[in-house]
Amino acid sequence: QLTPKKRERVLQSLSEDLKNSLSTLLEFDSETAAGLMTLDYITVDVSDNVEDVAKKFRTHEKRTGRPPVIVAMDDDKLAGFLPGHELGFATKREKIGKYVKRLLTISYAADHDTVVDLFHAHPHNKVAVLNDAGMVMGIIYSDDVLRIIEQETASSLYDYAGIHQSETVTDSARQKVHNRYKWLIINLGTAFLAAAAVGLFKDTLDKFVLLAVYMPIVAGMGGNAATQTLAVQVRGIALGQISLGTAWRTLKSEVGAGFINGLINAVLVAAVVIIINHDFGVALVLALAMVINLVVAALFGTLVPLIMAKFGKDPATSATIFITTGTDVLGFLAFLGLATMLLH
């Protein structure tokens, strides 16, 4: 983000044509479709012939150094665009109308998510940006949308890790500590909650030391399953595919998947315990805990991001810590609680 003074200095150092283009683009919100568009287009009429359009094309390219999109109009209404290669194959006096192709459009005020959704729903390499009167203002290319998706992916990774989005690899150690210490302290507090849950079963652990060996499996599997569910839910919320009011269907699906995955992993982990430790009791406890934990992970992974979004919080940023804590605490309670009941 440049200060007004620096922005003016940069603009003054540019060519007149580029300066005018940038000045126009800087008037729009960078988070909207208008902030993504380029002004490299020319407007022609469907009744124009190939020779005239080619001259206009070359004039723009010579002036800007960039080939323009040829936007075709019909009675001041958008008809589509003329692929540039048609200028080389059609005869000079031929009208361009029959070569015009469909051109997708979007409002200049649309946000980035709407732009991305449009390209997902209708794979094209360009979209025309329209003003309130329906006139073309600019063009958005698929390459620009890919950059937005890459930025959002990087942003999501930072959110999941609890890292400030302004942090870079070149930041000083002091700046990195400043950006991270609050999140780490919060995580430390939640770790104490999990430790407290384990502490409730000290006598059971003293008597059955083998349980401690398999506790990381309970925590790890629950956390991984919850993260998978969370990723799907966050994307669904972002794309408007799910809300708190329509969550029941998704919840049934996720819980069902969690139960089946729990059964599959329960059989595997029980077999390992029996083969290695020859302890059918611990195998049964671990298998039951595995099923319970993966169902709990599905519940937390589905409901927590929806609830956070309902209260206006970013689920990608704030849901992770609650889900991890919930699956750890309930996973340990299920595992050690079952051990206390069944092994004693």
Tell whether 242 and 316 lie within a shared domain: yes
CATH number, domain containing residue 64: 3.10.580.10
Measured between alpha carbons, how far is 128 from 106 in angstroms, rounded to an integer?
6
Is residue 13 assigned to a domain?
no
How many structural domains does the chain have?
2
Is residue 4 assigned to a domain?
no
Domain that residue 150 falls in: 31-154
Is residue 257 assigned to a domain?
yes
Tell whether 144 and 211 lie within a shared domain: no
Is residue 8 assigned to a domain?
no
Tell whether 214 and 331 lie within a shared domain: yes
| Structure-model confidence comparison of residues 318 and 158, the more confident one | 318
Tell whether 312 and 179 lie within a shared domain: yes
Tell whether 210 and 144 lie within a shared domain: no
Q: Which residue, 221, 338, 247, is CA-closest to 299?
A: 247
What b-and-e string marks burial along 84-106, b requiring 16 or more CB atoms within 10 Å of the CB? eebbeebeeeeebbebbeebbeb
- Indicate if the pLDDT at residue 295 is higher than 80: yes
The reported pLDDT for the residue numbered 269 is 94
CATH number, domain containing residue 260: 1.10.357.20
Asked which of 119, 154, 189 is the last residue of a domain, the reply is 154
The reported pLDDT for the residue numbered 173 is 84
Contact by Cβ (8 Å): 254, 326: no
Q: Which residue, 318, 300, 298, 323, is CA-closest to 308?
A: 318
Is residue 284 assigned to a domain?
yes
- pTM tops 0.85, yes or no: no
pLDDT tens per residue, range 10-39 = 555 555 555 455 555 556 667 788 888 888
- Indicate if the pLDDT at residue 317 is higher than 90: no
| Structure-model confidence comparison of residues 72 and 240, the more confident one | 72
Asked which of 154, 186, 203 is the last residue of a domain, the reply is 154
Tell whether 140 and 179 lie within a shared domain: no
Q: What is the mean pLDDT of the chain?
A: 82
| Structure-model confidence comparison of residues 331 and 178, the more confident one | 331
Tell whether 37 and 100 lie within a shared domain: yes
Is residue 22 assigned to a domain?
no
The reported pLDDT for the residue numbered 33 is 86
Tell whether 134 and 266 lie within a shared domain: no
Tell whether 296 and 177 lie within a shared domain: yes
Please state, for a pLDDT cut of 70, what percent of the chain lies above it: 83
The reported pLDDT for the residue numbered 289 is 94
Contact by Cβ (8 Å): 50, 58: no
Report CA 296 to chain centroid distance, whole Å.
Answer: 24
The reported pLDDT for the residue numbered 48 is 94
The reported pLDDT for the residue numbered 204 is 87
- Indicate if the pLDDT at residue 315 is higher than 80: no
Tell whether 191 and 328 lie within a shared domain: yes
Is residue 146 assigned to a domain?
yes
pLDDT tens per residue, range 246-268 = 788 888 999 999 999 999 999 99
Is residue 253 assigned to a domain?
yes
- Indicate if the pLDDT at residue 156 is higher than 60: no
Tell whether 130 and 37 lie within a shared domain: yes
Q: Which residue, 83, 88, 92, is CA-closest to 125?
A: 83
Of 41-45, 179-183, 227-231, 303-307, least confident by mean pLDDT is: 179-183
Contact by Cβ (8 Å): 44, 96: yes
The reported pLDDT for the residue numbered 164 is 55
